């Protein structure tokens, strides 16, 4: 976000007031100098940044209304907003949106690609601008990281100087290292370069990474795919907000019946196929290492499905083409989640009704199921949010702090005042060096709010 001149003029005053307030609340000695702030990079979650598209001569519209002339208002070079565009609310145009968002898996090349004729790009990499609102023309209903960025600005952070954004094409995911993931791997490389640039341009200070949801999975992969010497030099701390370390039951609902994600007027069956083709959605299915083998997640009159029955589940919902990439690319990726020996804080919501089991009474996946609910943040189940605690309980060089906030949902964690206070307070404590080192500790005791 570009700051207004008035805000620039009063930044130091606001910073002082905020810091004093934090000292009173947390008894942490916080510096008021911008020079003492470690750079922060924000990594969004699934659907958490803008996405643009351009149609080429290879594009074959699914219907007449999806002819390349639509949308009529495009940039001079043919690029237009793909996510989020309000036309998705209108049924005829929902089909256009879904067909243009669809990926396909090429088994011969062992990778995911856009459908022919559709090019996509992520605007403003390195800036927070595409993370603030999914559509700047609809700020009231598409706000995302704007409240968090504004809170960081009050601490003295300035976009492009010591505050950066790492948007990405969230449809793509990662695969086990032995398999190609051209788009996802490029994002990891771009993020690595951004981390180094942010550190070097701020006097060599290591970076604080702040992720939301799916972004946390990408960050953890980045850390574990780089040597410890690099992590020690460039990473100060990793703060993961609402990270679905073990996937979600809600993702099974998305695959089975389509998920409008709360967007009104949209028929879930129109977007279901597009959502099934998303590589990142396949990554977010419940991890069998974290969900009990005896725990039924989907129930039908014919059989029940646990996290260990995902291959049969994909076949039975009518998506057999998802089986091979799930078996070969996803299962090896999620089989082991290593501790990166980087100081970490997980901030999560709790006490929110979260889908825990889906009941398809007639065995028809085209019909919405009944839900049984458990604890979580409304999207991610508690077993997934807390997975690292159990996975890393014997790690000797991993600092992990977990902060639970009652009543905060998966997305409201980015705007709820209590949650923002916790996030900003944690960043302030990290900047003040008032945290334990990694030398002689394993898992730290966690706070609970």
Residues annotated as part of the active site: 213, 377, 410
CB 166 within 8 A of CB 190: yes
- DSSP conformational letter for 137: G
Helix, strand, coil percentages (3-state) for the chain, rounded to 5, are 40, 20, 45
CA-wise closest residue to 324 among 81, 105, 77 = 105
CB burial class (10 A; 0-12, 13-18, 19+) of residue 61?
middle
CA 284 to chain centre: 10
Nearest-CA neighbor of 338 among 283, 297, 397, 286?
397
Which of 34, 238, 49 lies closest to 154, judged by CA?
34
Q: Is 294 exposed, middle or buried (0-12, 13-18, 19+ CB in 10 A)?
A: exposed
Strand order in the sheet with 298-299: 304-305, 298-299, 354-359, 370-374
């Amino acid at each position: 976000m570009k700051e207004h001149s008035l805000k620039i003029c009063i930044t130091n005053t606001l910073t002082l007031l905020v810091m004093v307030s934090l000292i009173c609340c947390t008894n942490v000695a916080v510096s008021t100098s911008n020079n003492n702030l470690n750079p922060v990079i924000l990594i969004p979650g699934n659907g958490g940044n803008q996405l643009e598209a351009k149609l080429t001569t290879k594009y074959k519209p699914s219907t007449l209304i999806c002819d390349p002339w639509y949308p009529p208002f495009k940039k001079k070079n043919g690029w237009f907003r793909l996510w989020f565009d309000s036309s998705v609310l209108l049924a005829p145009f929902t089909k256009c949106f879904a067909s243009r968002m669809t990926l396909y898996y090429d088994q011969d090349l062992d990778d995911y690609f856009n459908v022919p004729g559709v090019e996509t790009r992520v605007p403003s990499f390195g800036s927070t601008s595409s993370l603030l609102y999914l559509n700047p023309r609809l700020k009231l209903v598409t706000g995302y990281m704007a409240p968090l960025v504004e809170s960081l600005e009050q601490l003295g952070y300035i976009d492009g100087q010591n505050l950066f954004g790492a948007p990405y094409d969230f449809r793509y995911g990662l695969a086990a290292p032995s398999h190609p993931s051209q788009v996802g791997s490029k994002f990891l490389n771009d993020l690595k370069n951004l981390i180094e640039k942010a550190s070097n341009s701020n006097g060599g200070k290591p970076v604080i990474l702040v992720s939301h949801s799916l972004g946390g999975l990408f960050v953890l992969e980045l850390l574990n795919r780089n040597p410890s010497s690099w992590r020690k030099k460039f990473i100060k701390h990793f703060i993961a907000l609402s990270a679905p370390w073990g996937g979600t039951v809600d993702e099974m609902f998305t695959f089975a019946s389509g998920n409008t994600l709360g967007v009104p007027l949209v028929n879930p069956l129109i977007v279901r196929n597009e959502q099934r083709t998303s590589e990142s959605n396949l990554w977010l299915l419940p991890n069998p290492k974290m969900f009990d083998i005896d725990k039924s997640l989907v129930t039908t009159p014919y059989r029940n499905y646990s996290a260990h029955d995902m291959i049969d589940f994909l076949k039975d919902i009518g998506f057999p083409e998802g089986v091979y990439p799930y078996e070969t690319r996803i299962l090896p990726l999620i089989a082991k989640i290593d501790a990166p020996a980087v100081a970490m804080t997980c901030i999560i919501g709790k006490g929110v009704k979260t889908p825990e089991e889906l009941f398809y009474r007639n065995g028809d996946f085209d019909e919405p199921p009944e839900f049984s609910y458990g604890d979580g943040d409304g999207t991610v189940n508690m077993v997934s949010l807390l997975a690292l605690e159990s996975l890393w309980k014997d790690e000797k060089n991993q600092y992990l702090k977990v902060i639970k906030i009652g009543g905060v949902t998966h997305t409201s964690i980015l705007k709820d005042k209590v949650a923002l206070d916790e996030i900003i307070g944690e960043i302030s404590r990290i900047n003040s060096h008032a945290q334990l080192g990694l030398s002689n500790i394993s898992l730290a005791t966690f706070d609970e709010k």
